[in-house]
Structure 1
Amino acid sequence: MADGPILRALFRCHVWASARLMPLLVANRSFEAVLKWAPLSSPTLYRGLPSSYIVSTVNRAVRRPWLMRDRRCLREGLLAHRFLRFAGFDPELRFGVDPKSMQAPRMAAHCWVCLDGRPVVSDSLPGMVEIYRHHAHSGKARAA
């Protein structure tokens, strides 16, 4: 289906519903189960939509979270990766940690999405060390 008003309306509804359901579906799940929201291969339901439109739609859908407030980057990253994949793009979902938080009661972590090596959703934060890239290189994710 070519980019047009019907495709964009379906896309916006899909993003909105996914943004509302995701917090419930990833709660108390393992990292591997959570990553299923960021498929490494998928049908290209939204081929033709520009990446900038996808990113801005996802940003709008998650701007006022009522769930996952403390994991906003994860919610935004998973959704952006998912819908960029659905449009035929090859995004990377990257994860980092702050080494200074390793001994703290709660580790400081962050994720962001890159296309062609450039951040399109968030970016690495100062002091963060990248530890994992979820990307479709030969169908396998890899540690950084």
Structure 2
Amino acid sequence: MADSPLLRALFRCHLWASARLMPVLIANRSFEEVLKWAPLASPTPYRGLPAPYIIARVNRAVRRPWLMRDRRCLREGLLGHRFLRLAGFDPELHFGVDPKSLQASRLSAHCWVCLDGRPVVSDSLPGMVEIYRHHDRASKVRVT
């Protein structure tokens, strides 16, 4: 389906509902269960929508979180990856940790989405070491 007002309206409704339901549906789930929100293979009902449009709408949908405030990048990353994939793009979801936080009581972690090797939803933070890349061709643990 080509980019059209109807396709954009369907996309916005789907994104809005997903952004509201995700915090409840991933609460207290394992990492593997959470990653189901970032499918590696999916249908492409939103093919034709441009990546910048999808990214802008994802950023808008998550800009005022009332749930997942402390895991904002996870919400952005999962939604960004999911909806880029649903539009036929091949995004990568990256996860990193701050090595200084390994001895702390709470681990400092971050995630971001890349498209064609460039960050498009969030970005790596200084000091973060990438530990996992969720991608259909290179989906494996990477330790640096």
Instruction: Say which SS state the counterpart of residue 136 (structure 2) adopts.
Output: strand
Is it true that 1:19 corresponds to 2:19 in the alignment?
A: yes
Tell me the distance in 1 between the aligned counterparts of 2:47 and 2:136.
18
Work out the CA distance in 1 between the residues paired with 2:86 and 2:13.
Answer: 14
Partner residue in 1 for 2:120: 120
Question: 1:106 & 1:141 partners in 2: Cα distance?
Answer: 26
Query: 1:67 maps to which residue?
Result: 67
Give the TM-score of the pair, scaled to structure 1.
Answer: 0.97
The TM-score normalised by the length of structure 2 is 0.97
- Which residue number in structure 1 is paired with residue 51 of structure 2? 51
Write the deviation string for residues 59-110 of structure 1: whole angstroms up to 9, x where unpaired. 0000000000000000000000000000000000000000000010100000
Per-residue Cα deviation, 1:36-60 (whole angstroms, up to 9, x for no partner): 0000000001000000000000000
Q: Which runs of 5+ in 1 are unaligned?
A: none
Query: What is the SS of the residue equivalent to 2:107?
Result: coil
Q: Distance in 1 between matches of 2:94 and 2:76?
A: 12
The share of aligned pairs that are identical, in percent, is 81
| Aligned-partner Cα distance in 1 for 2:140–2:122 | 20
Equivalences for residues 1-144 of structure 1 within 5 A: 1-137=1-137, 141-144=139-142
Letter in 1 for 2:141: A
Deviation at 1:142, TM superposition (A): 1.2
Aligned residues: 142
Q: Which segments of structure 1 move beyond 2 Å, counting only runs of 4 or more?
A: none
Look up the equivalent residue of 2:16 and give its one-letter code: W
Rounded Cα–Cα distance in structure 1 between residues aligned with 2:119 and 2:16: 23
